[in-house]
Structure 1
Amino acid sequence: MPRKGVVVVSPTPDTASRLDVISTICQRLLDEAAGLEDAAVDLLPFPRQVIRADLALAVSRLEAFAGIIPRLAGRRPLGRVALALPGNAILSNPLATIAASHLTGNKTLVRLPRRRRAWAEVLSGLVGDVAEFIDHDGAGFLSYAMHQPEIDALMAFGDDAWAAGYETLARVTGTKLIFEGPGKDPFLVLCPALVDEAARAAVEAGTFNAGQACTSPERFYVVSAAYDDFVERVTDLVRELNAGDPKDAETQIGPLAPVVAQRIEEQMQDAVGKGAVVLNTGLRKPMNVNGEERVLVPPIVVAGADHRMTVMREETFGPVIAIQRVGSIPEALELAESSPYGLSATAFGRVAGVAERLERSHGQVFIEETWLSRRRKRPLAPYGGRRRSGWVWEWQDEQFVRRDGPRHNFLEFSRS
């Protein structure tokens, strides 16, 4: 069996000193917030409102690291951790992931997609020598990281279709692979009395950053008694959203990558062809944002959706709310479970047994709240899904282990 992880690690500062470094980065964020916000607007294709919210989340996440110190007692660093971060990351994801690796005493190597090269320089300036940033193509970086004897763990974000192919390499090299993948998250409306609250939550969580978040709910199952009111309320709320140029301070929905816009177009054509009613709240428009070709796709509501349609089965990653009427709570649960993905699930209506059942198929379950409201309350809540939404592969006690479910990076980046 490969014996990675038995590398002698140079002495590192104690946990308190490393926490001081993270606190310094956090203070730098606060001191430079206005400039960082402007830089992100100039370098990334996301709306200022989204960037500002992500900056605030980054601060709250870094501040929360002090609270996890007791959980690190008796734990040791892995040695060196490589991070392949996603292109939709702004500040909170990169900084919290790097901080988790640093707090546990690791040396950290970071790669962002090449189209984010300029933003990587901003992040590198923020964290200083806490992490080393490398300019490398994606597949090349993963192969490089897994073949380097001194790299003990690789964390990668992306598509499960290509990630699954790295299992053999993980077995052979002994590199711990932590994969964070896509979602097709269900949102269940089980109580007619909660229609207004559920509709507001659905629109906020489903269209935040134009749906470009893995944990955005993408398929909505509504009991018959609540269905008509929910569709009407969601449609009214979606019409109020401002879609446009991300540099405009009033914009809530920014443009998408062309490949995503094309996927949405194909899903909508499929849905209409199979009987759904699709409400487009505006016209698609090509845009150039900071040198990137993008397509503005205003929010879309799909009523009368069902599982014959690709919009209910395949990841969308855009501002689309696809709604299916269900005849019962058991039917809603069966449909929610009917997916190869299991990142998170949301339910409005406190029905006995619902949360426990969804926890078996999904990493996180939100009851009468959303992933957005949960992360505001618990910025370092566990993350990670089940099935093809994410996993950890590693050698333990002479056995190759495959596991999934919610996890904390500060525990994955350390050993007992």
Structure 2
Amino acid sequence: MSPAPDTASRLDVISAICQRLLESAAELEDAAVDLLPFPRQVVRADLALAVSRLEAFAGVTPRLAGRSPLGRVALALPGNAILSNPLATIAASHLAGNKTLVRLPRQRQAWTEVLTGLVGEAAEFVDYDGAGFLSHAMRQPEIDALMAFGDDAWAAGYERQARLTGTKFIFEGPGKDPFLVLCPALVDEAARAAVEASTFNAGQACTSPERFYVVSAAYDDFVERVTDLVRELRSGDPKDPETQVGPLAPGVARRIDDQLKDAVGKGAVVLSTGLRRSMNVNGEERVLVPPIVVAGADHRMKVMCEETFGPVIAIQRVGSIPEALELAEDSPYGLSATAFGRVAGVAERLARSHGQVFVEETWLSQRRKKPLAPYGGRRRSGWVWEWQDEQFVRRDGPRHNFLEFSRS
């Protein structure tokens, strides 16, 4: 079925963005390395993902049949976004037929200018501080929906405004994603996947696994294998093309220090794979924190309960699969979960507490196969607030932005 004429013209705009991206890929990669604090390897992977996401929109147009745009959508995008998140989110709103207003953090002003040139007519970028933009979007009657990425602690405070104004509020929040190793025969495969998924972009992805539950029969081998693998990673200056793990914001580094001190004080063993040091990256103060393994972790420790958002692999020994499941569920967050070992009922149970479940693969391998996989988690990891049939409702779970930005 061919898309409706309006949808087809909007798809042409998205295709034009993708073409500009392809034609200027090398220049964009260099610009990102010069303007952002992320390693070239991360930038290159994100650029490739942005292309695949934009190309995938042609396949979702049938799902918009019979739907209409919300009207005007405001997007408050995160500071760790490079290309794939901004471009795919803008494209989803545009494909649904909306006028789109976009705000990135002010320290990303130079990068905002790059994105402005890329998206052209698909979005308008504005300069606001974060709280100011959210309040502005909520107050404007012509803005029908606001999507924000960030911390659930401040996002929860906007419920009253959402109720009063009727603005649809779509929130993408933190994760504290569990990774379960349930089969000793899969230790090597699980360890490789764990290290790749938890240290990509220095763990600065909300879907990075941060807490690992390993059955006793696999525990010692898993800890040893993960430790060997993180030692092989190259940490350093993002401008060095060999760097795999770059530096963090100072606040994140302080949070990691606090979590590690707490863990050691409660009996965990902490292995750091290199020297921590401060550095200036493109005018931003950053702290290099090489990957860290925490063995002997448990739920008394902050590192197993609070978001880390850094390259820390905290591992807990469990005596059984039911114990692993209970611990995985024991969190206020539920963005995604990973399990190595195809045990009956595990994925179904995790799906009730987490947005997405990856079985013998990770969020990285999943997004390579399905670049337009749904966003969204459960509990405090994300939600949608909106009025439906004169009732204010809150819902959570996986969702597609192009559907959230349209109505039936």
Normalised by the shorter chain, which TM-score bucket? over 0.9
Aligned to 1:7: none
What is the DSSP-based 3-state SS (H/G/I as helix, E as strand, rest coil) of the residue aligned with 1:254?
Answer: coil
| Alpha-carbon separation, structure 2, partners of 1:70 and 1:337 | 36
Aligned to 2:334: 342
Aligned residue pairs: how many? 405
Matches within 5 A, 1:205-220: 205-220=197-212
Aligned to 2:93: 101
Paired letter, 1:31: E
| Alpha-carbon separation, structure 2, partners of 1:264 and 1:400 | 38
Aligned to 2:234: 242
Paired letter, 1:161: A
How far did 1:383 drift?
1.2
Higher mean C-alpha displacement, 12-21 vs 95-104: 12-21
Aligned to 1:52: 44
> Kindly, what percent of the aligned residue pairs are identical?
89
Does residue 325 (structure 1) correspond to residue 317 (structure 2)? The answer is yes
Structure 1: segments with no counterpart, 5+ residues: 1-11
Aligned to 2:26: 34
Matches within 5 A, 1:234-273: 234-273=226-265
After superposition, give the CA deviation of every residue in 1:299-321 in whole Å (9 maximum; x if it has no partner).
00000000000000000000000
What is the DSSP-based 3-state SS (H/G/I as helix, E as strand, rest coil) of the residue aligned with 2:142?
Answer: coil
Matches within 5 A, 1:349-368: 349-368=341-360
Does residue 308 (structure 1) correspond to residue 300 (structure 2)? The answer is yes
**Aligned mate of 2:364, from 347, 372, 376:** 372
Paired letter, 2:370: R
| Alpha-carbon separation, structure 2, partners of 1:397 and 1:121 | 41
After superposition, give the CA deviation of every residue in 1:351-402 in whole Å (9 maximum; x if it has no partner).
0000000000000000000000000000001110000000000001111010
What is the DSSP-based 3-state SS (H/G/I as helix, E as strand, rest coil) of the residue aligned with 2:285?
Answer: strand
Aligned to 1:276: 268
Matches within 5 A, 1:68-87: 68-87=60-79
Structure 2: segments with no counterpart, 5+ residues: none
Matches within 5 A, 1:196-235: 196-235=188-227
**Aligned mate of 2:59, from 55, 67, 76:** 67
What is the DSSP-based 3-state SS (H/G/I as helix, E as strand, rest coil) of the residue aligned with 1:46?
Answer: coil
After superposition, give the CA deviation of every residue in 1:221-248 in whole Å (9 maximum; x if it has no partner).
0000000000000000000000000000
Aligned to 1:8: none
How far did 1:129 drift?
1.7
Paired letter, 1:350: R
| Alpha-carbon separation, structure 2, partners of 1:21 and 1:158 | 29
Does residue 287 (structure 1) correspond to residue 282 (structure 2)? The answer is no
| Alpha-carbon separation, structure 2, partners of 1:199 and 1:282 | 20
Q: TM-score, normalised by structure 2?
A: 0.99
| Alpha-carbon separation, structure 2, partners of 1:345 and 1:191 | 16
What is the DSSP-based 3-state SS (H/G/I as helix, E as strand, rest coil) of the residue aligned with 2:328?
Answer: helix
Matches within 5 A, 1:134-153: 134-153=126-145
Does residue 298 (structure 1) correspond to residue 298 (structure 2)? The answer is no
**Aligned mate of 2:402, from 385, 407, 410:** 410
| Alpha-carbon separation, structure 1, partners of 2:61 and 2:38 | 34
Does residue 383 (structure 1) correspond to residue 380 (structure 2)? The answer is no
After superposition, give the CA deviation of every residue in 1:84-110 in whole Å (9 maximum; x if it has no partner).
000000000000000000001000000
What is the DSSP-based 3-state SS (H/G/I as helix, E as strand, rest coil) of the residue aligned with 1:369?
Answer: coil
Paired letter, 2:157: G
Aligned to 1:175: 167
| Alpha-carbon separation, structure 2, partners of 1:13 and 1:128 | 20
How far did 1:322 drift?
0.3
Paired letter, 1:149: P
Paired letter, 2:58: A
What is the DSSP-based 3-state SS (H/G/I as helix, E as strand, rest coil) of the residue aligned with 1:373?
Answer: helix
What is the DSSP-based 3-state SS (H/G/I as helix, E as strand, rest coil) of the residue aligned with 2:60?
Answer: helix
After superposition, give the CA deviation of every residue in 1:197-237 in whole Å (9 maximum; x if it has no partner).
00000000000000000000000000000000000000000
How far did 1:137 drift?
0.3
How far did 1:13 drift?
6.6
**Aligned mate of 2:105, from 91, 102, 113:** 113
Q: TM-score, normalised by structure 1?
A: 0.97
| Alpha-carbon separation, structure 1, partners of 2:187 and 2:363 | 18
Paired letter, 1:199: A
| Alpha-carbon separation, structure 2, partners of 1:363 and 1:69 | 24
| Alpha-carbon separation, structure 2, partners of 1:412 and 1:130 | 17
| Alpha-carbon separation, structure 1, partners of 2:32 and 2:64 | 33
| Alpha-carbon separation, structure 1, partners of 2:41 and 2:15 | 25
| Alpha-carbon separation, structure 2, partners of 1:325 and 1:196 | 17
After superposition, give the CA deviation of every residue in 1:273-330 in whole Å (9 maximum; x if it has no partner).
1000000101110000000000000000000000000000000000000000000000
| Alpha-carbon separation, structure 2, partners of 1:69 and 1:140 | 34
**Aligned mate of 1:165, from 157, 163, 167:** 157
What is the DSSP-based 3-state SS (H/G/I as helix, E as strand, rest coil) of the residue aligned with 1:14?
Answer: helix
